[in-house]
Chain A
């Protein structure tokens, strides 16, 4: 039974399109995150939510909008996709913010 699941695993889309990535965790954690991993494997936090409330919003374009309908879900919507958005996006969760996080399998986004 997957702890942190995100869909889709692969996403290929054209520039200018709008797409969403969904994430769900069944661990009962209070905090969820979105990370971006570039081609050099560097992990960069994008957003952090605690009990559905945004607590960290790093410098990302406002084309990226997270939505948390409940504390088990944190979806990422991206408007007007650009080539530079191509990366692997990871969802993660932890019981306490800043402590050991469980990661999903990642969504490889390719913008063409």
Chain B
């Protein structure tokens, strides 16, 4: 079955710098890759997603890239701000079946 690995488990960056979180997946049939942000005391919130027919997608300061050959995808956050501090999860799914989740990355933005 599908397995999703996420790195790093904790990432600390200076405010204003960029942050990159990486995920790898095992099943080449996976075709949907969302990213979620979970703030303290709240549920995960979908922030961006990408499908396998697209290599990159941007939404203001966040972007996701997908490398199907290498089976990995990454979340990029530019010009980080204190409100970006949260736990970020990647996930992957195949043809509308269940999402397989990464273990999460705690992002800390240092002032």
Give A contacts to B, CB under 8 Å.
Answer: 4, 40-45, 48, 56, 90, 92, 96-106
Measured between beta carbons, the chain A residues less than 8 angstroms from B101 are 42-45
Query: Is there contact, CB below 8 Å, between B43 and A90?
Result: yes
Interface size class of chain B, counting residues whose CB lies under 8 Å from the partner chain: 20 to 34
Within the complex, the shortest CB–CB distance from B11 to chain A, in Å, comes to 14
Give B contacts to A, CB under 8 Å.
Answer: 32, 34, 36, 38, 41-46, 49, 87, 89, 93-99, 101, 103-104, 106
CA distance A42 to B87 in the complex (A): 11
Query: Is there contact, CB below 8 Å, between A41 and B87?
Result: yes
Who on chain A is nearest to B95 by CB? A98
| Known contacts A98-B32, A98-B93; is-contact A104 B43 (Cβ 8 Å) | yes
Within the complex, the shortest CB–CB distance from B91 to chain A, in Å, comes to 9
Within the complex, the shortest CB–CB distance from A38 to chain B, in Å, comes to 11
